[in-house]
Amino acid sequence: MEERHYRSVIKAISWRTVGTIDTIVVSYFITGNLVMAVSIGSIEVITKMFLYYVHERAWNRTDFGRVKVVENDYQI
């Protein structure tokens, strides 16, 4: 089964939303500076969304871990 490109884009956006919130929270705890934390989160959201998309498309090209569903060729 093949996934469409837009599915990978939507998955990337939803995952990056969660990941960016996490990065901002961790950055705030480390720096104690909310402006710095949001700056770090703003930069990484773009770079990691692109990297996730490329990673997802690469995995979509391999059959590793996939099972082909075979329908019965006869009915009883």
In which residue are the tokens 């939303």 written?
17
The structure tokens 């770090």 sit at 40
pLDDT in tens, 23-54: 999 999 999 999 999 999 999 888 887 888 89
Overall pTM > 0.85: no
In this prediction, residue 22 has a pLDDT band, given cuts at 50, 70 and 90, of: very high
Judged by DSSP in three states, 43 sits in helix
CA 33 vs CA 17, 28, 44: distances in Å: 20, 6, 17
Domain boundaries, the chain: 5-60
Q: What is the mean pLDDT of residues 4-12?
A: 83
Q: The tokens 């949001």 sit on which residue?
A: 38
